[in-house]
C-alpha cells in the first residue's frame, strides 16, 4: 500500500520496490482522506485485511500523513502493521513526531535516482519472501 | 571573793579545829556566808553573814546540809537539800565544781550564789564534817544579764545584717534585719545552711576566700551581691572580723549593709552627669535670679565660655544679645509660675560675638518640697539646620519646577515607601484631585493583572533598598484604554547610606511596546515563512532533479546533443537551488537555537567541523592547523558552523598557485576571546570587506567558485545572536584572516 499524491514519487517508489525482485501487489491512495476511509473500512469489514506494508507520505492533500497514521494505529487490525514514512523533509521534529505516532521507519526522499532506489532494500525487511 | 580567799577560809577552819574561839571570831566577822556540819551534814556552825544571805536563822543540830531555805539549779529546777553540793560531798558523790545556784529566801526573794564545800578531817584523816562557803554572785549575774540583754537588743534592732559564719560557710547566726534582707522569715530558714548559696555565683569564689581569710584571724571589708529568697539580686557591703566561737573555732562575725539603693543612686547620678556632659545640646541651669549654676561641656563648646567663666554670672549678661534683653525677665516670670518653655527659637551671642540661632527648652527645677528653685535650660544650635531648611526648600522648589517640566510622571516617596509627591503629569494623566492626594492612589489605575507584581516589586525594593525597573499598565482615562509604562525608582541616600527618599518615574512606553510587539510578530512570521518555503520548495525541485537525471540515464539515445546540454542545465540549476535552500534553512535556524548555558570546548567544535569538511580537505590537500582553543559559552552547533563555513571558504577560495593552508587560533583580549581563521588564499578586495557578510553576496561567478552566498551571512547571524562581532582582514592575492569574538 502506497499513500502518496505525487505521481512522480509513486513511480519512483514502484521502481524501488520492483528492484527487490519480490512479486508485490500494490494499492495506491492519492490523498489522506481516501487513506483514512480505507483504514476505517479495513477495521469494520471482516473481508478486508491490513496491507503487508504501508508506505506513507507526510505531505498529503486533504488529510496529512500524521492523521492517517493515527487512524492506522487506532484499530486492532492495523495496530501492528509496518508503516514506512517517506518525506522530502529531513527535519528532526518531523521524524520524532512520526515515530511517536507509531511509524516503523522513516525514509527521506533523496534527489538522486540511485539514492532513491535504496528504498527497496529498506522495504524488503517487512516484505518477507512469503509476501504477495 | 576569789577562789584563794575561799580556800584560805577552808584551811583556817580545817587547820585550827572546829569550835576554836579564835577561828569563830574570824568567821563571825567575815562578810561571806560560812557554815559547818558534822559528818552527817547536821549544822554545827553558821556565821551572821549566812543568816543575812539565806534570809533565815538556821537550826543547829536539826538543819541538815544547807543553811538556805530552797535551792534551784541554774535552770531554775528545785534541788532537794540532800542533793545540794555540800550533801553530795559528804555522801561522797562526785559533783561538777564551779556550778552556780539560786536560792530562795522565806520572804520569796532570790539570790545567786556559788558554793565552795570542803571536807573537815581529824588528825587521822577521818572525815569529821564539812565546811561550805557561799559566795553571793547575784550582782555579777545581774550585771552579766544586763550586758547580754543590751547586746541582744543591739543585734536585734540594728538595721544591718549581723551574722556569724563558720569557716566552711555554714551560717551559724543571723539577726532579724539579716533575715529580712534576704527575704527569710525564720532563723531556721538559714541557720545551718551554707551562706554561699545566697551569694551570686560569680561572687561566690571570692566570698569564700574572704570568709576563710577572716576565719584565719584577719579583718576585712567586701562588696558582693546576693540573691535573696525571692530571687532578686542585691548589692551588699560587709565588714567582718574574726570571732572566737564557744566551740573553740574562729568564725566570721560580719555586719553587712544592703547598698543596692545607694549603688543605684550612684549609677543614676553618674549616668545623669555623663548624659549631661556628653550631650550635644548645651545644658545650663540657673537660679530664679537668672544666675548660672551649672554649665556643661556642650555649653562651653557652643558659647565659648568655660564653666568656670560662666557659673555665677547672670545669663542675661553673658549670652543674651542686647536687643533681646527683655526675653529673660519674661522667661523668669513664666518659670516662677512653674511653666515650661518649649522650643523657643531665639538668638544667643557667643563669647566671640557670633550670633547663633538657638532653640531653647526651659523647665523649672524644684527642690524636694516642690518649691521652684531655678531652671534647667537646654539650648540647641539650629543655625545649621535653619540654613539647611532654607536650602532644602529652595532645592525642593527647583526639583518641583523641573519635575513638572518633564514629560514623564515623577513621584517621590519616604523611606517607608509612602508616596509623598507627584508631579503635574500624574494629575493630568489620572485626573485625580490634588487635594485628595493618596499614597496608594496608583493602585486604583493599575491593571488588575499587574497589581500583585507591582506591589511585590515596590515593597520589596523599599525593604531591600534596591532600585527597580518594571513594566505595567495604567488606565488612560482620556483615551479609555490601558497603556504600558515602565516604572523606575532609585533610593536617595544620606552620607551614612540611609535611604532618605525614593525618587521614581513612570514613562509611557505604550507606542514603543506596540512597535516591538509588531516587529516580533513580523520576525516570527518571516522566519516561519522562510522555513516552510524552503521545505516546500525542496519537493518539486527534487522531482525536477531526479527526473532530469532519469531522462539522461534511460533516454540518452533518444535525445539530441542539444537536449543533453539543456537537461544538464536543468539538473545543474536544480542542484544549485537545492544547495541554496539548504543554506537558507541553516540561515533561518542560526538564531533559533536556545541560549547556551554551559561553556563548551572549542577544540571539539573545530574537530567536528573538520570531519564534515573531510572530503574537501582530502580533495584539495589542504593543511589545516590550530592552536589550543579555549572554552566559550556558545552553542556547539553554532561554533561548529562558524568553523565549517570559514574553513570551507578558506579552502574554496584557495589560490591556484599554492597548497591551501588554514590556521585557526584564539587570543584573549580584555574580556573577550578573539578567534581567527587565517588562510593563504586569493584574498578579498578591501572594497568588499563589509559586503561579503550580506545574504546572497557573492564576489565570484559560480563557474569560478561555486557557492550560495549564504555561508558568511549565517556566520554574521550567529555572531549577532551572541552580541559578538565578525570581520575580515585581507590582502588580495595573499590571503585573508576572518576573526570573530565571543565574551570570555
Residues A82-118 pLDDT 10s: 999 998 887 788 889 999 988 999 999 988 899 999 9
Residues of B with CB under 8 A from a CB of A: 535, 538-539, 541-543, 545-547, 549-550, 553, 574-575, 578
Residue B727's pLDDT band, with cuts at 50, 70 and 90, is very high
* Closest by Cβ to A88, choosing from B538, B549, B574: B538
Mean per-residue pLDDT for B400-427? 87
Least confident of A126-130, B93-97, B555-559: A126-130
CB-based burial of residue B521 (10 Å sphere; 0-12 exposed, 13-18 middle, 19+ buried)? Answer: exposed
pLDDT beyond 50 at A130: no
Where would I find the beta strands (DSSP E) of chain A?
2-3, 28-29, 54-57, 83-87, 105-108
What pairing do the DSSP bridges indicate for beta strands A105-108 and B600-601?
unpaired
Residue A24 has a pLDDT of 81
Would B3-138 and B279-381 be classified into the same CATH topology? yes
Q: How many residues does chain A have?
A: 132
Q: Which of B528, B533, B534, B535 to mutate to test the interface with A (most CBs of A within 10 A)?
A: B535
Residue of chain B with shortest Cα separation from A110: B542
Query: What percentage of chain B has pLDDT greater than the value 90?
Result: 21
Task: State yes or no: ipTM above 0.85.
Answer: no
CA distance B156 to B344: 58
**Going by CATH, does the domain composed of B279-381 fall within 3.30.450.20?**
yes
Test A88 with B574 for CB contact under 8 angstroms.
no
CA B522 to chain centre: 59
Interacting residues of B587 by C-beta distance below 8 A, sequence separation 6+: B530, B695, B710, B713, B714, B717
- B546 contacts in A (CB within 8 Å)? 8, 12, 110-113, 116
Identify all chain A residues contacting B574, using CB atoms and an 8 Å cutoff. 111
Phi-psi region of B181 (alpha: psi -120 to 50; beta: other; left: phi over 0): alpha
If you count DSSP H runs as helices and E runs as strands, how many of each does chain A have, helices first? 5, 5
Residue B546: which of A89, A91, A113 has the nearest Cβ?
A113
- The pLDDT of residue B180: 87
What are the domain boundaries of chain B?
Answer: 3-138, 158-264, 279-381, 387-508, 514-585, 594-743
* A window 22-61, beta carbon within 8 A of B: 59
Q: At residue A132, does pLDDT exceed 60? A: no
Strands A105-108, A83-87: pairing is parallel
> What is the distance in angstroms between the Cα of B543 and the nearest Cα belonging to chain A?
7
Q: How many CB pairs under 8 A join A and B?
A: 33
> Would you state the CATH architecture of domain B594-743?
2-Layer Sandwich (3.30)
Across the interface, whether the CB atoms of B549 and A59 are under 8 A apart is answered: no
Domain covering B387-508 in this structure, CATH number: 3.30.450.20
Q: pLDDT tens digits, residue range B342-384?
A: 888 888 999 998 888 888 888 888 887 888 888 888 888 888 8
Contact B513, B522 (CB under 8 A): no
Q: From B550, which residue of chain A is nearest by alpha-carbon distance?
A: A113
Q: What share of chain B is helix, strand, coil (3-state, %, to 5)?
A: 45, 30, 30
User: Is CATH 3.30.450.20 correct for B3-138?
Assistant: yes
Cell numbers for B197: 548559696
| Least confident interval from B226-235, B592-601, B667-676, B734-743 | B592-601
Q: Which residues of B39-65 are buried (b: 16+ CB within 10 A; e: fewer)?
A: eebebbbbbebbeebbbeebeeeebbb
Cα–Cα distance measured from residue B287 to residue B316, given in angstroms and rounded to the nearest whole number? 12
Beta strands in A46-88 (DSSP E): 54-57, 83-87
Q: Does A109 touch chain B (CB under 8 A)?
A: yes
What are residue B563's phi and psi, to 5 degrees? -60, -40
Residue range B520-554, pLDDT digits in tens = 888 888 777 777 777 778 888 888 999 999 898 88
Nearest to A111 among B535, B542, B553 (CB): B542
Q: A44 CA to chain B: closest CA distance, Å? A: 35
The enclosing H or E element of A33 equals: helix A32-44
How far apart, in whole angstroms, are the C-alpha atoms of residue B303 and residue A122?
108
Q: In this structure, what DSSP letter does residue B199 have?
A: B
CATH of domain B158-264: 3.30.450.20
The Cα of B538 is separated from the nearest Cα of chain A by a number of Å equal to 7
Is A113 in contact with B574 (Cβ distance < 8 A)?
A: no
DSSP B239-286: EEEEEE-TTS-EEEEEEEEE-HHHHHHHHHHHHHHHHHHH-SSEEEEE
Say if the Cβ atoms of A8 and B578 lie within 8 Å: no
Instruction: Give the mean pLDDT of chain B.
Output: 86
Domains and CATH numbers, chain A: 2-124 (3.40.50.2300)
Q: Does A9 touch chain B (CB under 8 A)?
A: yes
Question: Which is it for the CA torsion B670, B671, B672, B673, positive or negative?
Answer: positive
Of residues B265, B267, B266, B301, the one with CA closest to residue B284: B301
Strands B409-413 and B250-258, how do they pair? unpaired
Per-residue pLDDT tens for B235-269? 999 999 998 888 888 999 999 998 888 888 888 88
Whether A131 shows a pLDDT value over 50: the answer reads: no
Write the residue in B541, B553, B574 that is nearest to A113 by C-beta.
B553
- A106 reaches B (C-beta below 8 A): no
* Alpha-carbon distance B539 to nearest alpha carbon in chain A (angstroms): 6
- In three-state secondary structure terms, A86 is strand
Residue among B546, B574, B575 whose CB faces A116 most closely: B546
Locate cell 518594571: which residue? Answer: B470
What does the alpha-carbon distance between residue B282 and residue B26 come to, in Å, rounded to a whole number?
95
Within 8 A of A109 by CB-CB distance, chain B residues are 542
Contacts of B553 in chain A (CB under 8 A): 113
pLDDT tens digit string along B279-320? 888 888 888 888 998 898 888 988 999 989 999 999 888 889
**A-chain residue closest to B531, CA distance:** A91
pLDDT at position B664 = 95
Residues 6+ positions from B211 with CB-CB distance below 8 Å: B165, B167, B169, B195, B240, B252
pLDDT tens, B186-199? 888 888 888 888 89
**Rounded to a whole number, what is the distance in Å from the CA of A93 to chain B's nearest CA?**
13
Q: A110: which chain B residues are within 8 Å (Cβ-Cβ)? A: 542, 546
User: Which residue is closest to B551 within chain A, CA to CA?
Assistant: A113
pLDDT at B147 over 80: yes
Q: How many CA atoms lie within 13 A of A38 on its CB side?
A: 21
Query: What's the pLDDT band for B704 if we cut at 50, 70, 90?
Result: low
Residue B722: name the closest of B643, B635, B640, B646 by CA.
B635
Kindly identify which residue of chain B lies nearest to residue A109, measuring between CA atoms: B542
B450 Cβ contact list (under 8 Å, min separation 6): B472, B473
Nearest CA in chain B to A7: B543
- Asked if B545's CB is within 8 angstroms of A112's CB, the reply is yes
Contact A111 B535 (CB under 8 A): no
B549: nearest CB among A9, A89, A112: A112
Chain A residue with Cα closest to B544: A111
- CA terminus-to-terminus distance, chain B: 119
Amino acid at each position: 500500500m502506497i499513500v502518496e499524491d505525487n505521481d512522480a514519487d509513486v513511480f519512483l517508489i514502484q521502481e524501488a520496490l520492483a528492484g527487490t525482485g519480490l512479486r508485490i501487489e500494490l494499492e495506491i491512495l492519492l490523498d489522506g482522506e481516501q487513506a483514512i476511509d480505507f483504514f476505517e473500512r479495513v477495521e469494520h469489514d471482516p473481508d478486508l485485511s491490513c496491507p503487508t506494508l504501508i508506505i506513507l507520505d507526510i505531505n498529503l492533500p486533504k488529510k496529512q500523513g500524521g492523521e492517517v497514521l493515527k487512524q492506522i494505529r487506532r484499530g486492532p487490525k492495523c495496530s501492528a502493521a509496518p508503516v514506512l514514512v517517506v518525506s522530502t523533509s529531513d527535519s528532526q521534529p518531523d521524524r520524532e513526531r512520526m515515530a511517536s505516532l507509531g511509524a516503523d521507519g522513516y525514509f527521506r526522499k533523496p534527489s538522486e535516482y540511485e539514492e532513491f532506489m535504496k528504498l527497496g532494500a529498506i522495504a524488503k525487511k517487512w516484505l518477507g519472501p512469503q509476501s504477495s | 571573793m576569789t577562789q584563794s580567799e575561799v580556800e584560805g577560809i577552808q584551811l583556817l577552819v580545817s587547820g585550827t579545829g572546829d569550835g576554836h574561839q579564835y577561828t569563830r571570831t574570824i568567821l563571825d566577822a567575815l562578810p561571806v556566808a560560812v557554815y559547818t556540819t558534822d559528818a552527817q551534814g547536821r549544822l554545827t556552825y553558821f556565821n551572821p553573814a549566812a543568816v543575812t544571805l539565806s534570809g533565815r536563822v538556821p537550826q543547829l543540830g536539826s538543819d541538815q546540809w544547807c543553811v538556805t531555805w530552797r535551792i534551784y539549779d541554774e535552770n531554775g529546777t528545785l534541788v532537794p537539800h540532800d542533793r545540794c553540793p555540800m550533801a553530795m560531798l559528804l555522801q561522797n558523790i562526785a559533783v561538777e565544781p564551779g556550778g552556780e545556784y539560786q536560792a530562795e529566801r522565806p520572804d520569796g526573794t532570790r539570790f545567786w550564789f556559788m558554793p565552795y564545800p570542803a571536807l573537815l578531817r581529824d588528825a587521822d584523816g577521818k572525815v569529821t564534817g564539812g565546811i561550805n562557803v557561799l559566795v553571793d554572785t547575784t550582782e555579777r549575774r545581774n550585771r552579766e544579764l544586763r550586758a547580754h540583754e543590751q547586746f541582744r537588743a543591739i543585734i536585734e534592732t540594728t538595721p544591718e545584717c549581723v551574722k556569724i559564719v563558720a569557716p566552711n560557710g555554714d551560717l551559724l547566726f543571723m539577726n532579724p534585719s539579716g533575715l529580712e534582707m534576704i527575704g527569710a522569715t525564720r532563723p531556721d530558714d538559714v541557720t545551718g545552711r551554707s551562706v554561699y548559696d545566697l551569694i551570686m555565683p560569680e561572687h561566690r569564689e571570692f566570698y569564700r576566700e574572704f570568709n576563710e581569710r577572716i576565719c584565719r584571724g584577719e579583718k576585712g571589708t567586701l562588696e558582693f551581691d546576693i540573691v535573696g529568697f525571692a530571687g532578686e539580686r542585691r548589692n551588699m557591703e560587709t565588714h567582718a572580723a574574726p570571732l572566737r566561737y564557744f566551740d573553740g573555732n574562729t568564725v566570721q562575725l560580719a555586719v553587712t549593709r544592703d547598698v543596692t539603693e545607694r549603688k543605684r543612686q550612684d549609677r543614676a547620678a553618674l549616668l545623669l552627669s555623663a548624659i549631661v556632659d556628653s550631650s550635644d545640646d548645651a545644658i545650663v541651669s540657673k537660679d530664679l535670679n537668672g544666675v548660672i549654676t551649672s554649665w556643661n561641656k556642650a555649653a562651653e563648646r557652643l558659647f565659648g565660655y568655660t564653666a568656670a567663666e560662666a557659673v555665677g554670672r547672670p545669663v542675661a549678661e553673658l549670652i543674651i544679645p542686647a536687643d533681646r534683653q527683655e526675653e529673660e525677665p519674661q522667661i523668669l516670670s513664666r518659670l516662677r509660675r512653674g511653666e515650661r518653655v518649649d522650643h523657643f527659637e531665639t538668638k544667643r551671642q557667643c563669647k566671640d560675638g557670633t550670633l547663633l540661632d538657638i532653640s531653647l527648652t526651659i523647665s523649672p527645677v524644684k527642690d524636694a518640697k516642690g518649691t521652684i528653685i531655678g531652671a534647667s535650660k537646654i539650648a540647641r544650635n539650629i543655625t545649621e539646620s535653619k540654613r539647611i531648611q532654607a536650602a532644602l526648600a529652595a532645592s525642593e522648589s527647583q526639583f518641583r519646577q523641573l519635575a513638572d517640566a518633564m514629560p514623564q510622571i515623577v513621584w517621590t516617596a519616604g523611606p517607608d515607601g509612602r508616596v509623598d509627591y507627584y508631579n503635574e503629569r500624574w494629575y493630568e494623566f489620572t485626573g485625580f484631585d490634588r487635594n485628595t492626594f493618596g499614597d496608594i492612589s496608583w493602585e486604583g489605575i493599575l491593571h488588575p493583572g499587574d497589581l500583585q507584581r507591582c506591589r511585590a516589586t515596590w515593597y520589596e525594593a523599599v525593604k531591600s533598598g534596591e532600585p527597580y525597573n518594571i513594566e505595567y499598565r495604567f488606565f488612560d482615562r482620556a483615551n479609555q484604554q490601558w497603556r504600558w509604562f515602565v516604572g523606575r525608582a532609585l533610593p536617595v541616600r544620606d552620607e551614612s547610606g540611609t535611604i532618605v527618599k525614593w525618587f521614581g518615574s513612570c514613562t509611557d512606553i505604550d507606542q514603543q511596546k506596540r512597535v516591538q510587539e509588531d516587529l516580533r510578530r513580523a520576525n516570527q512570521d518571516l522566519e516561519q515563512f522562510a522555513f516552510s518555503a524552503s521545505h516546500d520548495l525542496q519537493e518539486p525541485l527534487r522531482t525536477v532533479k531526479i527526473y532530469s537525471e532519469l531522462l539522461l540515464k534511460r533516454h540518452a539515445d533518444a535525445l539530441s546533443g542539444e537536449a543533453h546540454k539543456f537537461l544538464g542545465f536543468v539538473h545543474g540549476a536544480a542542484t544549485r537551488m537545492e544547495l541554496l535552500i539548504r543554506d537558507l534553512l541553516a540561515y533561518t535556524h542560526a538564531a533559533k537555537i536556545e541560549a547556551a548555558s554551559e561553556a563548551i570546548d572549542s577544540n571539539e567544535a573545530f574537530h567536528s567541523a573538520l570531519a564534515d569538511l573531510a572530503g574537501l580537505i582530502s580533495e584539495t590537500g589542504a593543511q589545516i592547523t590550530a592552536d589550543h582553543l579555549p572554552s566559550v559559552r556558545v552553542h556547539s552547533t553554532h561554533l561548529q558552523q562558524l568553523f565549517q563555513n570559514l574553513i570551507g571558504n578558506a579552502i574554496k577560495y584557495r589560490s591556484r598557485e599554492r597548497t591551501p593552508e588554514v590556521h585557526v587560533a584564539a587570543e584573549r583580549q580584555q574580556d573577550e576571546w578573539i578567534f581567527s581563521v587565517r588562510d593563504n588564499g586569493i584574498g578579498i578586495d578591501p572594497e568588499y570587506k563589509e559586503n561579503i557578510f550580506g545574504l546572497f553576496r557573492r564576489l565570484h561567478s559560480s563557474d569560478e567558485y561555486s557557492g550560495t552566498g549564504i555561508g558568511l551571512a549565517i556566520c554574521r547571524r550567529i555572531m549577532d545572536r551572541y552580541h559578538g562581532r565578525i570581520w575580515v582582514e585581507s590582502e588580495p592575492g595573499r590571503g585573508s584572516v576572518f576573526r570573530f569574538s565571543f565574551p570570555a
